[in-house]
Amino acid sequence: MKLTEELRKALRVRVDYTNMTDKYIPNGIAQKTLDAHKKLAKAAHAYVAENRGKDELFMGWTELPYNQDTIVADILETAKAVRRKFENFVVLGIGGSALGPIMAFNALCHLHYNDLPKSKRRGPRFFVEDNVDPVRMKELLDVIDVTKTCFNVISKSGATSETMAQYLIISDLLKKAGVNIKENVIFTTDAKKGNLVKISKSLGGVKSYVLPDGVGGRFSELSPVGLLPAAVLGIDIKAMLKGAAYMDKLCKTADLKKNPALLCATLQYIAMNDGKNIGVLMPYSDNLKFVSDWYAQLWAESLGKNVTLDGTPCNVGQTPVKALGVTDQHSQVQLYTEGPFDKVVTFLAVDSYKEKTPIPHGCEDIPDVSFLGGHTMEELIQAENKATAHALTMAGRLNYTIHVPEVNAFTLGELLFLFELQTAYAGAMFNINTFNQPGVEAGKKATFALLGKPGYADKKAELDAAAPDEAYIV
Ligand code: PA5
């Protein structure tokens, strides 16, 4: 993608927060409330600006758009070789090691990519296995030939039960098929620590990419975690990084009127403090559907904390809800419109879809149907998006719209950097550790104990003592 300054501006993601204000919503946010939060927003902005790039604070992700030239060149070479050699590319990973690749795949590839004939695909068939459902694993193996498949094992720790169980199954199958394992796997992991580093050595050196120290899983899409799978799919990863850098540039100012991420963080912060404990993300685009899944992890794991940085109990966070326009108009929107006043709805609107899909004239004697003829499906989905925002506004519900001019690698980069910065700013406003996830770790440890991992005997005893009580089983 050739990016002139003019094109960057045309592709700029914009936030319309009209329907968050008290001018249009009773109990909406007043200008004086926003003004009263300017100081806090400025401090959050300064915190992120001062600490960007600091690995010890897990803020290395801020530099990913700028410091990966060599890695990107290497990834593009590897991707070319993978495309030449393999029929399938399977990501084994979970959480932050999977949601980014799923998002980019859905956003930037054909919606039925794996069903296209080889000649119409830019790369091998693509799968992200982010669960240990035994049926899913077995049925994946029904549709791929492991000997013709490249497995990208993504795990920072190399100790995540789900990913490592998958690795054990796959490596066993490759061995049994007489394949030299290291020919069919690529690791994305920590530079020095982590079990995948050890496994790589034992296999004689597996092609590996590094998930840098200061980049947590949910902030890793622009690292090799996301870039390698995207490059294998023929996605323009340089444009993705440029889109992120462009959003970063827009967010250099602490002026709420100019910095979209700071504005969104401040609006959400005010809303959360006013009891809006649910944040719905509703893209009007199947391509952007999985942005909601990725965002849900980013927002929930980052902000869901029980203590501030100075040790004060806080129990903050907002429950992210994934919705899809227009599909969920016919299910959840009833609740959003008439249920409790506990939500902020964020729409992702696409200004220009890559397909318009005209609706032909027909059924002229049935006005309920014939009015649709002569329009396009683009007009229909955009009208429904506007109509739903309007209906929510009329019902006094806080909502705002993030406009994506068109879905491409550049705008996806912008969007994900906007959300990452928004999350970092909101975390700074709450004065919490945005980048840890002790709640996730607790579940991982309990699983280790249940499956007999050495060193977890106490946890096992605690779990045994908490066995279901017959008195409460019906
Ligand atoms: O955001 C996170 O840090 C988590 O969701 C992790 O990405 C997830 O638990 C996987 O961890 P790992 O990469 O160590 O396998």
The structure tokens listed for 212 are 């840098």
In this structure, the number of other CB atoms found within 10 A of the CB of residue 251 comes to 22
Whether 157 is in the pocket of ligand 1, judged by its Cβ within 6 Å, is yes
Q: Look-up: residue for tokens 């506007």? A: 386
pLDDT at 1 exceeding the cut of 80? no
Q: Which two tokens stand for residue 471?
A: 């008195």
Q: Which residues contact 175 (CB under 8 A, 6 or more apart)?
A: 181
Does the beta carbon of 218 sit less than 6 angstroms from any atom of ligand 1?
yes
Ligand 1 pocket, 124 CB below 6 A? no
Residue 195: pLDDT band with limits 50, 70, 90 = very high
Tell which atom from ligand 1 comes closest to the C-alpha of 162: 15
Q: Could you give the 3-state DSSP secondary structure of residue 236?
A: coil
Closest residue by Cα to atom 8, ligand 1, is 95
Phi-psi region of 194 (alpha: psi -120 to 50; beta: other; left: phi over 0): left
- Residue 448 contacts residue 434 (beta carbons within 8 Å): no
pLDDT given at position 441: 82
| Catalytic-role residue among 301, 378, 414, 420 | 301
Q: What atom in ligand 1 is closest to the CA of residue 95?
A: 5
Selecting among 38, 42, 386, 444, the annotated active-site residue is: 444
Q: What integer pLDDT is reported at residue 2 of this predicted model?
A: 79
To test the ligand 1 pocket, which listed residue (99, 129, 160) has its Cβ within 8 A of the most ligand atoms? 160
Ramachandran class of 351: left when φ > 0, alpha when ψ lies in -120 to 50, beta otherwise: alpha
Task: Provide the residue count of the chain.
Answer: 474
Give mean pLDDT, residues 407-415. 98
Residue 282 carries which DSSP code?
A: E
The Cα–Cα gap between 445 and 456 comes to: 8
Closest ligand 1 atom to Cα of 157 = 14
pLDDT at 442 over 90: no
Side chain identity, residue 40: L
Query: To 10 degrees, the CA torsion angle through 17, 18, 20, 22?
Result: 150
> pLDDT category, 113, cuts 50, 70, 90?
very high
- State if residue 188 touches ligand 1 by the CB under 6 angstroms criterion: no
pLDDT on residue 177: 97
Average confidence score pLDDT of the chain: 96
User: Which residues, including other chains, have CB under 8 Å from residue 40's CB and lie 6 or more apart?
Assistant: 266, 269, 429
Query: Tens digit of pLDDT for each residue in 157-170?
Result: 888 899 999 999 99
221 lines ligand 1 (CB under 6 A): no
Which range, of 133-142, 342-351, 447-456, averages the lowest pLDDT? 447-456
Q: From 47, 24, 37, 19, select the one nearest 269 (Cα to Cα).
A: 37
Residue with tokens 């409330």: 33
Atom of ligand 1 nearest to the CA of 301: 1
Residue type, 450: L
Specify the 3-state DSSP secondary structure of 360: coil
pLDDT in tens, 19-70: 999 999 998 999 999 999 999 999 999 999 999 999 999 999 999 999 999 9
Tell me, what's the pLDDT at 444? Answer: 83
Residue nearest to atom 5 of ligand 1 (CA): 95
From the CA of 300, how far away is ligand 1's center (Å)? Answer: 14
pLDDT value for 469 = 86
Give residue 3's pLDDT: 84
Ligand 1 proximity of 337 Cβ (cutoff 6 Å): no
Q: Is any ligand 1 atom within 6 A of the Cβ of residue 214?
A: no
Give me the percent of the chain exceeding a pLDDT of 70: 100
Say yes or no: CB of residue 97 within 6 Å of ligand 1.
Answer: yes
Reference 194, options 175, 208, 173; nearest CA is 208
Q: Whose CA is nearest to atom 9 of ligand 1?
A: 95
Q: Which pLDDT value is given to residue 55?
A: 94
156 lines ligand 1 (CB under 6 A): yes
Q: What is the pLDDT of residues 210-239, one digit of tens each?
A: 999 899 999 999 999 999 999 999 999 999
| Distances 199 to 171, 196, 238 between C-alpha atoms, Å | 11, 5, 31
Q: Is the pLDDT of residue 319 over 80?
A: yes
Q: Which atom of ligand 1 is nearest to the CA of 194?
A: 14
Query: Ligand 1 pocket test: which of 92, 94, 131, 444 has the largest number of ligand atoms within 8 Å of its C-beta?
Result: 94
Phi then psi for residue 336, to 5 deg, are: -60, -35
Query: In order of start, what are the domains of the chain with their CATH numbers?
Result: 5-54+243-430 (3.40.50.10490), 61-237 (3.40.50.10490), 443-472 (no CATH)
Q: How far is residue 360's CA from residue 376's CA, in Å, rounded to a whole number?
A: 8
Token pair for 81:
């070789």
Using CA atoms, how far apart are residues 320 and 299, in angstroms rounded to an integer?
7
- Report the alpha-carbon distance of residue 403 to residue 12 in Å, rounded: 9
| Alpha-carbon span 90 to 143, nearest angstrom | 12
Token couple for 218: 């949910």
**Residue 217 Cβ < 6 Å to ligand 1:** yes
Q: Please confirm, yes or no, whether 444 is among the known catalytic residues.
A: yes
C-alpha 453 to ligand 1 mean position (Å): 19
Residue with tokens 């994506």: 404
Average pLDDT for residues 330-340, to the nearest whole number?
96
pLDDT of residue 265: 98
CA 296, 297, 298, 302 dihedral sign is positive
Ligand 1 contact, 163 CB (< 6 A): yes
Active-site residue, 42 included: no
B/e letters for 165-190, b = 16+ CB within 10 Å, e = fewer, are: ebbebbbebbeeeebebbebbbbbbb
Q: According to DSSP H, which parts of 178-320 are helical?
A: 181-184, 195-202, 224-232, 237-250, 260-273, 289-303
For residue 214, give both structure tokens.
Answer: 């200061």
Residue 422 has a CB neighbour count (10 Å cut-off) of 27
Q: Which of 330, 338, 355, 364 is catalytic?
A: 330
Q: How far is the CA of 351 from the centre of ligand 1 (A)?
A: 34
**SS3 call for 88:** strand
Contact by Cβ (8 Å): 103, 291:
yes
Q: Is the pTM of this model over 0.85?
A: yes
pLDDT computed for residue 468 by the predictor: 86
Beta strand 88-92 with 149-154: parallel, antiparallel or unpaired?
A: parallel
| Strand partners of residue 90 | 127, 151
Task: Extract the tokens encoding 35.
Answer: 């003004």
DSSP one-letter code for 47: H
Query: How confident is the model over 383-402, as pLDDT tens digits?
Result: 999 999 999 999 999 999 99
Residue 446 parent element (H or E): helix 438-450
The yes-or-no answer on residue 330 being catalytic is yes
Prior bond of 146 cis (ω within 30°): no
Q: Which helix (H) or strand (E) holds 345?
A: strand 343-350
Q: Is the CB of 94 within 6 Å of ligand 1?
A: yes
Minimum-distance ligand 1 atom for the alpha carbon of 97: 7
Q: Which atom of ligand 1 is nearest to the CA of 94?
A: 10
pLDDT at residue 443, as a whole number:
85
Place of tokens 């409460």: 472
CB atoms within 10 A of CB 104: 27
